[in-house]
């Protein structure tokens, strides 16, 4: 009898996770099927309850349920509760455990594909939603020297900055020497070259440029404000490359697309479910084919 891993979210029509996760499961010839379980908000509770059945090993959770799912689980890992979002559920016996692999996926892609070491670096973050939270906590833990958070809705940027500062001040973490300086700027600051003048890394955590969104085809930054030599990392993975990455290339910046992060966060989930080393190259190849087929 096969076992199952679900992808829980709504809508799921354009998700490519089933392609590269199944490729990884097939690589090990595991009798496990990774399936898209499209789940509207009213169905979230019964879907999570079903995960407790013995044929199910766990799930990925995506938009819009990453936050709503927390109270439905038995245990939530520290990093996931700091971030306030779960993207991976593992069933261990009769317990459902929640994890966040976005932070890990972001860093793995940054190190391995972007060849970038965040310690001591100045970073500008566009956005303050769910994935921005994961990215900012990851960069604080990696000891980036400064984070500037720029978001359309200032209150959301302030909430994120406050929780990062309180994490940095947390006395139990003093021995880890976290010392990132966190500031926020209004959205209009994106038009000013001086916002980026001294930074090493720009991360787009907004949905701007995403295929099928109202901002499809748009870039959050103009060519004039992007310094040459900076690394521009766009977490939007469809289309690939995005309008922002095309502009960044013209500006002489280095670029990193969001597909690598998508695969690395999925690879970390794969390891949690199966205990096996994820075949990242196979997963990346399959993800690139799936996005290519989408275009
Ligand atoms: P979210 O929680 O809904 O946050 C969306 C962010 O985009 C917010 O900061 C929002 O600003 C901003 N935004 C939306 N429309 C905007 C506009 N017209 N002008 C300016 N800002 C706008 O979404 P999320 O889960 O963080 O995801 C954000 C993006 O990251 C998505 O495109 C998603 O596909 C991508 N992502 C990629 C990966 C990966 O593995 N590569 C993983 C997770 C997410 P306000 O606060 O003002 O609304």
Protein residue with its CA nearest to atom 11 in ligand 1: 152
Q: Report the separation in Å between the CA atom of 32 and the middle of ligand 1, taken as the mean of its atom positions.
A: 31
Q: Kindly state the average pLDDT of the residues 274-287.
A: 97
pLDDT tens-digit readout, 197-256 = 899 999 999 999 999 889 999 999 999 999 999 999 999 999 999 999 999 999 999 999
**Cis ω on the peptide bond leading into residue 241 (within 30° of 0)?**
yes
Residue environment code for 274-289, b if the CB has 16+ CB neighbours within 10 A, otherwise e: beeebbbeebbebbbe
Same domain, 18 and 64: yes
Q: Which atom of ligand 1 is found nearest the CA of 210? A: 32
Residue 107: which of 232, 264, 272, 257 has the closest Cα? 264
> Would you say 182 and 218 are in contact if contact means Cβ atoms under 8 Å apart?
no
Q: Write out residues with Cβ below 6 Å of ligand 1.
A: 63, 102, 105, 127-132, 151-153, 156, 205-208, 210, 215, 235-237, 258, 261-262, 265
Residues labelled catalytic: 66
Same domain, 232 and 111: yes
Same domain, 178 and 232: yes
Q: Which atom of ligand 1 is found nearest the CA of 132? A: 26
Q: Strand 231-234's sheet: what is its strand order?
A: 181-186, 146-151, 122-126, 201-204, 231-234, 254-256
Protein residue with its CA nearest to atom 1 in ligand 1: 129
pLDDT tens-digit readout, 22-75 = 999 999 999 999 999 999 999 999 999 999 999 999 999 999 999 999 999 999
Protein residue with its CA nearest to atom 2 in ligand 1: 129
Same domain, 140 and 78: no
Same domain, 71 and 165: no
Residue 29 sits in a domain whose CATH number is 3.40.50.10860
Same domain, 140 and 22: no
pLDDT tens-digit readout, 106-137 = 999 999 999 999 999 999 999 999 899 999 99
**Is the pLDDT reported for residue 293 higher than 70?**
no
* Alpha carbon separation from 271 to 2, 121, 264, 266, 280 (Å, rounded): 18, 30, 11, 9, 11
Helices (H) and strands (E) in the chain, counts: 9, 12
The widest CA-to-CA distance across the chain, in whole angstroms, is 60
Q: Report the separation in Å between the CA atom of 12 and the middle of ligand 1, taken as the mean of its atom positions.
A: 16
Q: pLDDT value at position 103?
A: 96
Cα–Cα distance for residue pair 278/24, rounded to 1 Å = 7
| Eight-class DSSP state of 171 | G
pLDDT tens-digit readout, 89-114 = 999 999 999 999 999 999 999 999 99
Protein residue with its CA nearest to atom 43 in ligand 1: 131
Q: Report the separation in Å between the CA atom of 21 and the middle of ligand 1, taken as the mean of its atom positions.
A: 23
> Would you say 178 and 146 are in contact if contact means Cβ atoms under 8 Å apart?
no
Same domain, 137 and 213: yes
Same domain, 229 and 285: no
> What SS3 state is found at 152?
coil
Same domain, 48 and 174: no
Phi, psi (deg, nearest 5) at residue 264: -70, -35
> Cα 86 to chain center, whole Å?
11
Phi, psi (deg, nearest 5) at residue 76: -130, 130
Same domain, 134 and 235: yes
Q: Which domain holds residue 89?
A: 3-100+262-291
Q: Which atom of ligand 1 is found nearest the CA of 238? A: 34
Exposed/middle/buried for 207, CB within 10 Å: 0-12, 13-18, 19+? middle
User: Hey, which residues does 36 pair with through a beta bridge?
Assistant: 7
Same domain, 96 and 108: no
Residue 178 sits in a domain whose CATH number is 3.40.50.720
Same domain, 115 and 223: yes
Give the number of domains in the chain.
2
Q: Report the separation in Å between the CA atom of 203 and the middle of ligand 1, taken as the mean of its atom positions.
A: 11
What does pLDDT average to over the chain? 95
Q: Report the separation in Å between the CA atom of 236 and the middle of ligand 1, taken as the mean of its atom positions.
A: 8
């Amino acid at each position: 009898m096969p076992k199952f891993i679900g992808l829980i979210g709504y809508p799921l029509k354009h998700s490519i996770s089933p392609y590269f996760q199944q490729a990884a499961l097939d690589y090990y010839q595991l009798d496990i099927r990774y399936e898209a379980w499209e789940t509207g908000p009213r169905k979230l509770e019964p879907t999570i309850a079903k995960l407790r059945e013995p044929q199910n090993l766990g799930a990925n959770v995506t938009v819009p349920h990453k936050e709503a799912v927390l109270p439905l689980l038995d245990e939530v890992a520290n990093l996931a509760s700091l971030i306030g979002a779960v993207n991976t559920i593992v069933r261990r016996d009769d317990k459902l455990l929640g994890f966040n692999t976005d932070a890990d996926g972001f860093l793995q892609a940054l190190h391995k594909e972007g060849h970038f070491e965040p310690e001591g670096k100045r970073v500008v973050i566009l956005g303050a939603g769910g994935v921005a939270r994961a990215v900012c906590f990851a960069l604080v833990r990696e000891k980036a020297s400064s984070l500037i958070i720029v978001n359309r809705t200032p209150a959301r940027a302030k909430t994120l900055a406050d929780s990062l500062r309180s994490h940095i001040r947390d006395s139990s973490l003093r021995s880890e020497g976290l010392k990132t300086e966190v500031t926020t700027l209004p959205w209009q600051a994106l038009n000013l070259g001086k916002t980026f003048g001294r930074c090493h890394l720009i991360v787009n955590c907004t949905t701007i440029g995403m295929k099928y969104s109202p901002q499809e085809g748009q870039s959050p930054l103009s060519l004039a404000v992007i310094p040459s030599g900076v690394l521009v990392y766009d977490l939007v993975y469809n289309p690939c490359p995005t309008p922002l990455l095309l502009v960044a290339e013209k500006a002489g910046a280095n670029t990193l697309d969001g597909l690598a992060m998508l695969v690395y966060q999925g690879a970390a989930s794969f390891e949690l479910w199966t205990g096996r080393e994820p075949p990242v190259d196979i997963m990346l190849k399959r993800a690139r084919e799936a996005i290519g087929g989408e275009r």
